[in-house]
Amino acid sequence: MKRALTAGFCLGLGILACVVRDESTQITIAFASETAVPSELDDLTVKITDARGSVTYLNDYEVRDPAFFPTTLAVVPANDESFEGPIRVEVEGRGAKGAVRLQRSAILAYSKGRNLLLPMPLRMACVNFPDCGAGRTCRGGQCVDAVVGDTELRDFVETEVFARPGGACFDEAACLRGAERVDVSADCTFPMTGDGNVALVWEAAPTRLLLLTAGDAQEGWTRQSPERGQLSRGACVSLLDPETDVQKREVPDRALEAYVADACPEKTAAVPYCPAADGHSGIGAAH
């Protein structure tokens, strides 16, 4: 059997390591998680299937070090057959006693001459989410099509994934300091004057403010006017849903409160997180 891809996974090296330098045709998968490691997530499986249905990459990793996230997996075409169809990327995160807590998948094809950046964050909005079925995945507390077109993806840029000395990065603790609770209306909007950032407190992580990326209508928040922002639908449904029975909730994990902080400019997808003292990145600031 001919392999349709090769992959190189950089693990446990922290946010300052694991630089992908290949500028040829490639897919660079960037993993991140809003779960604390290892207390909330301690095991991760990555599986890649080619267009013919053959599993070309399968590995299970014990995630014992907070510095594990984020890291990257470089997937490159082995030959012309690699361009015959899309590949499927599946990520599964597990917690105590092997219980599956988070799943995410993406179906995409190589784009000749481009190094596509495929973000695969494991977010609280998808904790304990029901299986979305074939060809679909949980993103932002909703089941959506797992197919991702190359026009939806940015090219991989090292400094947009890994913080570098002297480079721009987002300091969660500093930027969410002084955050104030805001009321979210039935239309999912909230008061947002001037520049700033938005965060949620989730029931699965009640001691942390978890940032929402600006300009991300599916998993973050968007600005609707100079005075108001709007939560993504999944986050909004979770926050406003009065149902207490987790089995009946549209989004199993409950968003408890929304906060706004004006200490820093908006965090966008192109700005990496600064590494915290324990090596973690992007898992929230103390609440």
**C-alpha to C-alpha distance for 197 and 94, rounded to whole angstroms:** 29
**C-alpha to C-alpha distance for 96 and 43, rounded to whole angstroms:** 9
- What is the average pLDDT value for the chain, to the nearest integer? 88
What is the average per-residue pLDDT within 228-247? 95
Residue 248: per-residue pLDDT: 93
Least confident window among 47-56, 165-174, 263-272? 165-174
Residue 282, pLDDT > 90, answer no
Residue 147: per-residue pLDDT: 98
Residue 15: per-residue pLDDT: 30
Q: Tell me the pLDDT tens digit for each residue of 139-157.
A: 999 999 999 999 999 999 9
Domain ranges of the chain: 5-158, 172-286
Q: What is the pTM of this model?
A: 0.89
Residues 20, 135, 271, 10: is their CA dihedral positive or negative? negative
CATH architecture of 5-158: Sandwich (2.60)
Least confident window among 33-37, 197-201, 219-223, 260-264? 33-37
